[in-house]
Amino acid sequence: MATTAAPGSHMAAIKPSISSSRRTYMSCTANFGANSEVAVSKGLRSSSHISSRQPFFPSIQSGPAKSVKVITRAMSAAAENTPLPGLPIDLRGKRAFIAGVADDNGYGWAIAKQLAAAGAEILLGTWVPALNIFESSLRRGKFDESRILPDGSLMEITKVYPLDAVFDNPDDVPEDIKSNKRYLGSSKWTVKEVAESVKEDFGSIDILVHSLANGPEVVKPLMETSRYGYLAAISASSYSFISLLQHFAPIMNPGGASISLTYIASERIIPGYGGGMSSAKAALESDTRVLAFEAGRKHRLRVNTISAGPLRSRAAKAIGFIDMMIDYSSANAPLPKELSAEEVGNVAAFLASPLASAITGSVVYVDNGLNAMGVGVDSPIFENLELPKEA
Ligand SMILES: NC(=O)c1ccc[n+]([C@@H]2O[C@H](COP(=O)([O-])OP(=O)(O)OC[C@H]3O[C@@H](n4cnc5c(N)ncnc54)[C@H](O)[C@@H]3O)[C@@H](O)[C@H]2O)c1
């Protein structure tokens, strides 16, 4: 399946406004004749061209006041419809590999969608045990509504690769996994093999997204977490990113970008986010900085992580307190609204684009500003404190 059909959302949005601005402009000239055409075309130029000592519409200042009003209205309509010179997020010609998509509810899907809306070609890496159900749901059209892009076309997924990011190469895979029936139908799903398959199929990629995490003991407090649970969380949620970058960097084009997803529990206490997952996110953020240096110097790649607010994804629901965290954020964040996955997808598209060419090694917060709060303002302690109210 080719993705060339998916145009950049910005470009698609511009086309109709070009013609409507032209229509507005033409109706101005038709209504007011040659003099007003001069006036309108002057008005459409940058305001810096207008001397403060000159009348704004020298050619019609002597005319009746009514004409001035009508022309002003027509001009502001024309200005509203005039496309901005633009800072488009244009990812046409770029290819993205997004690891960690197995349904249409999580951040990985939303990021894939916004990258596709900006014109990127989409390859997915799906956890082997979830692959069958994801592919059959895709085939049966279960995700079609979620695939709709701003221009009305459907997001194309060029290829889905089976992936288990806790195994780097076939020698690492233990017998019980090899013979597990959920793995038997798939092959070449270790990180090294997936990178080799992508190289064989497409030669190179430009964008690498790590949107996966797993902590078998996430519901246990850190003090009760076993060594196995802790190391498993780090392996699946932190080292998996190092491994992906290690194996994909050689096939990433210079100027390429990688993005992972982290959570505020790395730096602030979030009771309930246990099993070493808070430690895994802290490692991921620290690794983002070191890998930014190494991959930047060696491959001219950028490495950033998005610290996302709470989302009702499948993984988050498994932790068991996601609704509470969403309510807490709405009650306490500077922006008292629920975060949408699309808002995170938009920032990922920006970070992946040349517009972010000087951003690397950063933790970028997309959380309605919750990270900036020092207190929870919904505490009864603050009952008598005057808080800013909506105007
Ligand atoms: N949902 C939230 O509230 C939230 C907040 C901040 C950060 N995040 C982060 O966002 C990222 C995506 O999670 P999500 O919440 O969108 O949930 P999700 O369920 O959509 O994504 C997690 C994915 O990881 C995959 N996965 C698990 N183990 C794997 C492995 N060994 N190999 C390959 N894939 C594996 C799962 O199949 C799933 O597709 C994670 O890093 C998560 O920690 C989530």
Going from the Cα of 211 to the center of ligand 1, the distance in angstroms, rounded, reads 5
ipTM tops the 0.85 cut: yes
Q: What is the pLDDT of residue 84?
A: 73
Q: Does the C-beta of 243 come closer than 6 Å to ligand 1?
A: no
Query: What pLDDT is attached to residue 61?
Result: 34
Stated pTM of the model: 0.82
Q: Cα(380)–Cα(367) distance, rounded to whole angstroms?
A: 24
- 189 within ligand 1 shell (Cβ under 6 A): no
Handedness of CA 336, 340, 346, 352 (dihedral sign): positive
Ligand 1 center to residue 169 CA distance, Å?
Answer: 22
Res 391: pLDDT: 85
Delineate the domains of the chain, giving CATH numbers in brackets: 10-371 (3.40.50.720)
What pLDDT, on a 0 to 100 scale, did the predictor assign at position 262?
Answer: 99
Residues 93-136 have pLDDT tens digits of: 999 999 999 999 999 999 999 999 999 999 999 999 999 999 99
Residue 112 CB less than 6 A away from ligand 1 = no
**Which two structure tokens, joined as six digits, stand for 24?**
């507005």
Using only C-alpha atoms, the chain has a radius of gyration, in whole angstroms, of 26
pLDDT value for 78: 53
- Three-state DSSP at 154 gives strand
Query: How do residues 260-286 score in pLDDT, each as one tens digit?
Result: 999 999 999 999 999 999 999 999 999
310 lines ligand 1 (CB under 6 A): yes
**In 35-163, where do the E strands start and end?**
95-99, 121-127, 159-163
Which of 133, 212, 241, 268 to probe ligand 1 with, by most ligand atoms within 8 A of CB? Answer: 212
| Segments in the chain below pLDDT 50 | 1-72, 74, 77
pLDDT at 80: 61
